[in-house]
Structure 1
Amino acid sequence: MKRRKKMRVLVVDDEEIQRVSLQDDLREAGYDTTAVESPNVALELVRKEAFDVVVSDLKMPVMDGVTLLRKIKELQPETTVIMMTAYATVESAVEAMKLGAYDYLTKPFSTDELLLLLERVGKYRQVVAENVRLKQQLEERYAFGKIIGKSQPMQEVYRQLEIVAPTDSTVLIEGETGTGKEMVANAIHFNSLRKDKPFVKVSCAMLSKEILESELFGHEKGAFTGAFRQKKGRFELADGGSIFLDEVDDIPVDLQVKLLRVLEERTLERVGGTETIEIDVRVIAATKKDLRQLVAEGKFREDLFYRLNVYPIKLPALRERKEDIQILFEHFLRQFKGGQLPRVNPQVYRYLLDYPWPGNVREFKNVVERLTLTCQCDPIDPDCLPAEIRSIREGPERGHDPEKAGPLDSAVAEFEKKLILEALNRSNGNKARAAEILQIPVSTLKSKIKKYKME
């Protein structure tokens, strides 16, 4: 019988005939097998080497299999343990499974039985390894460092995330459409103590009142027309983990009352039900609107606002973090170009800086993706940008006093100075060569050097 993956197997049995027979059969089947008589010797090996599977007898004179199991799990928790037992000790084998053994074999058993069980173990370990890999990918994807930005507003966001993520506090994320509220919610969950538990998302704006109530709190069979079976709500599904209530400002007022009660009492009742269900859920909410204004207008309950606003995080609009535009542009270029960073005409950055980006980072990302699909220029130049971006360019005029510049002018000036310095460094101070790199006339370069007092 072929196995999916070669595994290291340690056999522990004080009966020599059984031990040697198992070792020979497993080696013949292709497993890297070691067999020992003593549990103490087995523990010494486990301390020094990594084994995928330990196959151990349950009844041994020096140390019983249950004790050996406990010690192995302390040393190598990921090791799979299979117990061998006589019929009279099946109850002990079942107890061993409760302590972490994968399965047990009742003596006498055939070689095929053991090989089939090892085949199952191999598949099981592959699934576990894949789950670990996916979890690591999620944690890496939503690490704070994956949120792009070095501007002061983003530094403040990082600081807040580091404070609140490890806690169980309710978080309210505020920001315009496209500022990255869901990414921040993911970062909070996957950097919390609940990261191995469910993370359930609900878009409160996309559902009608009746459907939203059922989605959040679940329903019993027959609770309403079409309720053919019992259904758990998102709060129940998130038990032990976190729930992300996106666009919480769109929850109808009468549902806000029920949500408030769930947050205060940590219990709920399904629609059409009477059973009180306890839940342990961290709440992360997001809104693109000013909840304080909605409270003043009577469209959002004040008590619910205070319950959600335990730790507010305000995400800046892209127009408020112009310093991040170049690194965002290069980040998305690499993402859509398979890791490669194409050459870019410096004038492109001026157009990007001038545009107000009403859709924020989401719009910015879409523009870069479209550009990588349609632009054939090398380097990328302003003609590759959408017409709406090219049409409203309002960069500072030549000769404008940088000391009197506003925030936008200052950002443009900083980028220009940075690009000029890079070009001068690359050309070893040769202005003609630097002008070629920047694709501007030498006279323009000299004018800018004088303007920015870089001589």
Structure 2
Amino acid sequence: MKEKRKIWVVDDERIVRITLADDLKDNGYLVKEFSDGSAVLTVLKEEKPDLIITDLKMPGIDGITLLKRVKEIDPKIIVLIMTAFGSVDNAVEAMKLGAYDYFTKPFNIDEVILTVEKATQFQLIKEENKILKKHIGTIYDFSSYIGDKKINKELFDNIKLVAKKDSTVLITGETGTGKELVTNIIHFNSNRKNKPFVKVSCAILSREIFESELFGHVKGAFTGAEFDKKGRFELANNGTLYLDDIDDIPYDLQVKLLRAIEQREFEKVGDSKPIPINVRIIASTKKNLRTLVEEGKFREDLFYRLNVFPINIQALRNRKSDIILILNHFLSKFSEGRKVEMSDDALDLLLSYHWPGNIRELKNIAEHLTILVGDKGIESTHIPIDIKDQKRVDICQSIGQKPLDQILSELEIESINIALKRCKYHKSKTAELLGIPPSTLRTKMDKYNIS
């Protein structure tokens, strides 16, 4: 059943007004008729339609003036213009002022109905997009990054600090640490949150198409360029451009990227006309860009231009307390809110694991475990064998690769974290379990920054 949308028809010619109104009613719309613009403005104080169809030339308040006043009162109201053939230029001017479309008299009613349907559908999509953006904003609020507030205080503070700025941000961290999540949090809590957010995965773009994808091209720029194409920079205008794996940008294109960032303009492939842009840049990498600069693989000037506000996300193995928080989050998500019990032995294995895939790997393990155990608790026997074997492998591989003191320190950190968990973070009981005085435990926790 067609949704009852409210349409107002405004025309000083009675026969045109009545004919159009009747046809719209026959197609399921709620219609009101007005013979002049002043009556429309009076009724607008009490109620609002979804769409107004107004004649362009009327005595008193004409269609252009009515359009301007309506848009001032409520920009969401869609306005269609009716005009005589000789006034098409004025109708085009009306579209520049915010009219959705126009049609000429005498009009084909089927074409008018089609235009109305497109306009109301357009309005519906805009409303849905607004709801979706609001929903996305709640998904990516500052609390969406799960982690120990003490351990991650500097990270949280930096995200909140830079979100409201327009500075370029460089996010570093291993694969799976949450670089894209942090980027989303920054954008959707910035002043550009209602503007485009465009991601470029630099690692998956080939050298042949990279420049065209980033900057766009004009028709005939190269073989196969049959149409003009907008690049990611242009699509992100007034919003945020996220360059993931920035280290994979071809060296010879880095200077063009640098120029676009510094001068806020670029040229499409095959064109020399500069296009001005207003884009915030957020870049991320899992590699050490300083090392790549020293090796001649990354431009030093581009590095410094990107490194205005650096944010580093620690690997999961360096923030053991986060493992429990993130694990519980994913277990709850995949079990649809059902509490999943886990034995101490099973948790010890997960806390001892190196997590080379970081949060992404932990998420996959949590999903695997919830499927495996169903409505039962998670035991050590449910933990994948590669996780069980990792601790022994890490120690064996560390011999000869790390100093003995470092190996022992890492084992000590793991032992303290596991003991704290077993004792529910009661320090006196933890010290007793480890066979050391409470003062020694406090000293070691301070030394290793264990909260």
TM-score range, shorter chain: 0.7 to 0.9
Tell me, in whole angstroms, the C-alpha distance in 2 between the residues paired with 1:41 and 1:224: 57
Which residue of structure 2 lines up, in the alignment, with residue 266 of structure 1? Answer: 264
In the alignment, what sits opposite 1:432?
Answer: none
Distance 2:305 2:167 in 1: 10
Q: Which runs of 5+ in 2 are unaligned?
A: 393-410, 439-451
C-alpha contact (below 8 Å) 2:216/2:269 kept by paired residues: yes
Following superposition of structure 1 onto structure 2, how do residues 280-295 of structure 1 map, counting pairs within 5 Å? 280-295=278-293
The alpha-carbon distance between structure 1 residues 351 and 25, as it changes in their structure 2 partners (threshold 3 A), is same
Post-superposition CA distance 1:186-221 (Å, at most 9, x none): 333333344444433333334555554454445677
Over 3 Å counting, the alpha-carbon distance change for 1:298 and 1:23 in structure 2 is: closer
Match of 2:77 in 1: 79
Measure, in 1, the Cα distance between the counterparts of 2:83 and 2:363: 61
The alignment status of 1:102 with 2:96, answered yes or no, reads: no
Specify whether residues 235 and 60 from structure 1 end up closer, same or farther in structure 2 by C-alpha distance, changes over 3 A only. closer
Question: Superposition pairs for residues 3-402 of structure 1, below 5 Å?
Answer: 4-15=2-13, 18-20=16-18, 22-87=20-85, 89-109=87-107, 111-207=109-205, 209-217=207-215, 233-269=231-267, 274-337=272-335, 339-347=336-344, 348-376=346-374, 378-391=376-389
- The CA deviation at 1:14 is 4.4
Q: CA deviation at 1:387?
A: 1.7
CA separation of 1:452 and 1:128: change in aligned 2, threshold 3 A = farther
Q: Partners in 2 of 1:336 and 1:125 — Cα distance?
A: 36
TM-score, structure 2 length as denominator?
0.77
Report the Cα distance in structure 2 between the residues aligned to 1:224 and 1:121, rounded to whole angstroms: 37
Query: 2:287 and 2:85 mapped to 1: Cα distance?
Result: 67
Shift of residue 173 of structure 1?
0.5
Shift of 1:157: 2.4
Counterpart secondary structure, 1:163:
helix
Per-residue Cα deviation, 1:258-297 (whole angstroms, up to 9, x for no partner): 4333333334455666554544432221121222333344
Q: What's the C-alpha RMSD, in Å, of the aligned pairs?
A: 3.7
Query: Counterparts in 2 of 1:438-453, with a 5 A limit?
Result: none
How far off is 1:331 after superposition? 2.1
Any idea what the Cα deviations from partners look like across 1:6-47, whole Å, max 9, x if unmatched? 211223344555545554443343222233445344234334
CA distance in 2, matches of 1:280, 1:239: 5
Q: Is the 8 A contact 2:343 2:380 kept in 1?
A: no
Identical amino acids, percent of aligned pairs? 49
CA distance in 2, matches of 1:231, 1:52: 34
Structure 1 stretch 16-25 or stretch 63-72: which is displaced more?
16-25
For residue 362 of structure 1, give the secondary structure of its aligned residue in structure 2.
helix
Counterpart code for 2:316: L
Change in CA separation of 1:37 and 1:155 when aligned onto 2, cut-off 3 Å? farther
Report the 3-state secondary structure (helix = DSSP H, G, I; strand = E; otherwise coil) of the residue aligned with 1:367. helix
Deviation track 1:281-327 (CA, whole Å, cap 9, x = no partner) reads 32221121222333344443332221111111111211233232233
Counterpart for residue 401 of structure 1: none
Q: Distance in 1 between matches of 2:80 and 2:231?
A: 38
Q: 1:300 to 1:20 in 2, by over 3 A?
A: closer
Question: Residues 159 and 86 from structure 1, CA distance in 2 versus in 1: closer, same or farther, beyond 3 angstroms?
Answer: same
1:200, 1:255 → 2: CA distance? 19
For residue 181 of structure 1, report the CA deviation from its aligned partner: 1.2
Matched to 2:142, the amino acid is F
Kindly provide the amino acid, as one letter, of the partner of residue 350 in structure 1.
Answer: D
- Closer, same or farther in 2 for the Cα pair 1:36/1:218, shift >3 Å? closer
The Cα offsets for residues 399-419 of structure 1, whole Å up to 9 and x where unpaired, read as xxxxxx965455445544559
CA spacing shift, 1:78–1:150, aligned 2, 3 Å? farther
Letter in 2 for 1:115: I
CA distance in 1, matches of 2:43, 2:437: 69
- Runs of 5+ in structure 1 lacking a partner? 395-404, 421-443
What is the letter of the counterpart of residue 186 of structure 2?
A: I
Query: Are the structure 2 counterparts of residues 136 and 452 from structure 1 closer, same or farther at C-alpha, using a change threshold of 3 Å?
Result: farther
Aligned residues: 414
- Mapped to 2, the partners of 1:191 and 1:55 lie a distance apart of 38
**1:349-393 Cα shifts (integer Å, max 9, x gaps):** 333222221211111111112222333461233322212333457
In the superposition, the TM-score normalised over structure 1's length comes to 0.76
Equivalent pair of 1:4/1:122 in contact (CA under 8 Å): no
Whole-Å separation in 1 of the counterparts to 2:18 and 2:363: 63
Match of 1:431 in 2: none
Larger displacement relative to structure 2 (306-315 or 4-13): 4-13
Deviation at 1:52, TM superposition (A): 1.1
1:71 offset after TM fit, Å? 1.8
**Deviating more after overlay: 213-222 vs 353-362:** 213-222
Report Cα offsets for 1:73-132 as digits up to 9, x if no partner. Answer: 122211111233344544433322221112234344465454333223233233333443
Counterpart amino acid of residue 341 in structure 1: R
Q: Deviations over 1:151-208 (max 9, x none)?
A: 3343432322222223321111011111111222233333334444443333333455
SS at match of 2:79: strand
| 1:315-347, Cα deviation, whole Å (9 max, x unpaired) | 12112332322331222223333x323421242
